[in-house]
Structure 1
Amino acid sequence: MLNPAFDRYRHEDIRRLIAEYPLAWVLCPGAPAASASLLPMLGTYDEDGALTGLVGHMSRRNPLHALFAQGGKAQFLFTGPQAYVSAEHAGRRKWGPTWNYAQARIEADVRVDEALTAGAVARLVAACEEGREKPWDVAELEERYAGMLGMIIGFEARVTSLDATFKLGQDESPEVLETILASHPDADLRNWMEAFNRDRRK
C-alpha cells in the first residue's frame, strides 16, 4: 500500500501537472485497447481552481471520434515527472531504490462538436506557443487552415471523477531527501520534489 502522503495534493498541483505534461492517454471504457490515443489536453477550472473539464481535438479518423459521437465516457491518464531513484542518489547503499512519479487519472463525460474545433485548436496553440519570442498563430496557415480544420474535430470533457498520486519523496528522511535533491540528474523531478516537500524543508 502506498504512503497516504502521496495522495495529498492541491488544485494547483493538478493544474500544473496538466499544463506541464498535457499529452494524455485517452481511453473509452469497454472499447478495444487499439482505440486508445495520446492527445494533448487543456484543463478548465472553476473559481476555486478545481479542475472541471478538459478540452481537446483529434483527427476525425481517430477511432475515439466515432465512440465519443455516440455520447461517450472517457478516461484521461496524465503522467507527470518520473524517474528512477538509485541508492546512489540517496547516498546510502542499504537504501532501497525506488521510482518517483506523478500521475492523474480522470473520468469524464465527453461531447464532440464541430463548433468546438477552432477554439480548441486556438487554445492549444496559444498555450504551447506562450513565451516564445515570436509565437506562431493559425492565421499563418492562410487558406490551408480551413482545409486542415475540416479534418479534425473538437471535444470537451466534463470531469466526473479525479484521483492522483504524487510520489515525490514525501516519505524520505530529511537527510535522504536533501541528498537526492542534490544528486539526482533529472531537473524536472527535483523541481517537483522540492515543491511537494517545501514545508518539510523550512
Structure 2
Amino acid sequence: MFVPAQYVAKNPRAIVEAYSFGLLVTTDANGLHATQTPIFFETDDPEEMRLVGHIARRNPQAAGLAHGQPALVVFTGPHAYISGNWYQSKPEVPTWNYVSAQVSGVLEPLDEPEQKRAVLEKTAQKLSAYGEGAWAMDDAPEGRVEVLLPYIRSFRIVAHSIQGASKLSQSHPQDDRDRVIARLKERGHNGDAEIARVMELKDPF
C-alpha cells in the first residue's frame, strides 16, 4: 500500500474495526475476483492477526477459495474532495482526504457447519454495536440458520500485514484545517460529514 510518510496511519487496525465492510480480492484459475462483505478480527485481542468473513456460495469467487491462497482486503473509510481554494495560509491545488486500510495475508476456507456458524455469530456480535434494531443469532427463526449454512462459504485470513492511510490535511496549518472542516460541514456531500468528524479528533487513526 503506497502511503506518503505523513499520512501513514498509526493505528490501521482501528480503521479496519471502524469501517469493516471490506473488499475481498483473490485470484484463481478463472482470474481476479472481488467481493464486498463485512470482515472482522476473529477475537478482540489487540494483537489479533486473523480476520473472518463469509460470502454467498453461488458467488463465483466462492468456488475458488482455497487453503493457502493469497488474499487482499481493502477497507475504505470516508473520503471527500478538498478544494484548493480552502487552503489559504498554505495555498495548494485540489486534493482528496480519505481514510483507508489494507490487509494482506493467506486465506483458509472454513467449511465445517460449526465454523460457519461461529463466523455468523461474530458478524452478528460486531454489527450489534449499531444499537437499536441490531440483530442477534437468537433472533433467527428456529432452524433458519442451519438451513442457510450450506449456501455460504466462510473464511479466515491470517494477515501478514495491516497498513493504513489517514490523509486529513495534516501537512497544513491549523487555520487551514479548521477552514476545511467548516467547508465540509457546509457542503454536506457524501463523506463530507464523516471526514470533518475524524479531522476534529486528535490522532483518530
Q: What TM-score does the superposition give when structure 1 sets the normalisation length?
A: 0.82
Indicate which of 19, 22, 38 corresponds to 1:21. Answer: 19
State how far apart, in whole Å, the 2-side matches of 1:171 and 1:22 are: 27
Q: What is the CA distance between 1:38 and its match in structure 2?
A: 1.1
Q: Is the alpha carbon distance of 1:94 and 1:69 closer, same or farther for their aligned partners in structure 2, counting shifts above 3 Å?
A: closer
Which aligned pairs between 1:1-202 and structure 2 lie closer than 5 A?
3-10=4-11, 14-29=12-27, 32-33=31-32, 35-44=33-42, 47=45, 49-90=46-87, 94-115=91-112, 116-139=115-138, 140-185=140-185, 186-195=192-201
Q: What is the CA distance between 1:138 and its match in structure 2?
A: 2.7
Q: Is the 8 A contact 2:89 2:173 kept in 1?
A: no
Q: Which amino acid aligns with 2:116?
A: T
Q: Which runs of 5+ in 2 are unaligned?
A: 186-191
State how far apart, in whole Å, the 1-side matches of 2:14 and 2:68 are: 29
State how far apart, in whole Å, the 1-side matches of 2:104 and 2:91 are: 40
Q: Is the alpha carbon distance of 1:57 and 1:8 closer, same or farther for their aligned partners in structure 2, counting shifts above 3 Å?
A: closer
Q: Is the 8 A contact 1:169 1:197 kept in 2?
A: no
Q: Is the 8 A contact 2:90 2:172 kept in 1?
A: no
Q: What is the CA distance between 1:77 and its match in structure 2?
A: 0.9
State how far apart, in whole Å, the 2-side matches of 1:58 and 1:86 are: 38
Q: How many residues align?
A: 193
Q: What is the CA distance between 1:15 and its match in structure 2?
A: 3.1
Q: Which has the higher helix share?
A: 1
Q: Is the 8 A contact 1:3 1:171 kept in 2?
A: no
State how far apart, in whole Å, the 2-side matches of 1:158 and 1:149 are: 23
Q: Which runs of 5+ in 1 are unaligned?
A: none
Q: Is the 8 A contact 2:77 2:98 kept in 1?
A: yes
Q: Which amino acid aligns with 1:64?
A: Q
Q: Is the 8 A contact 1:45 1:52 kept in 2?
A: no
Q: Is the alpha carbon distance of 1:195 and 1:131 closer, same or farther for their aligned partners in structure 2, counting shifts above 3 Å?
A: same
Q: What is the CA distance between 1:181 and its match in structure 2?
A: 1.9
State how far apart, in whole Å, the 2-side matches of 1:157 and 1:80 are: 20
Provide, for residues 137-186 of structure 1, a one-character-per-residue CA deviation record: whole Å limited to 9, x for no partner: 23323222211122112211100122222111111112101111222122
Q: What TM-score does the superposition give when structure 2 sets the normalisation length?
A: 0.81
Task: Supply the RMSD in Å over aligned alpha carbons.
Answer: 2.6
Q: What is the CA distance between 1:134 and its match in structure 2?
A: 4.9
Q: Is the alpha carbon distance of 1:152 and 1:86 closer, same or farther for their aligned partners in structure 2, counting shifts above 3 Å?
A: same
SS of residue paired to 1:69: coil
Percent identity (aligned) = 24
Between the two structures, name the one with larger relative contact order (CA 8 Å, sep ≥ 6): 2
Q: Is the 8 A contact 2:3 2:165 kept in 1?
A: no
Q: Is the 8 A contact 1:58 1:65 kept in 2?
A: yes
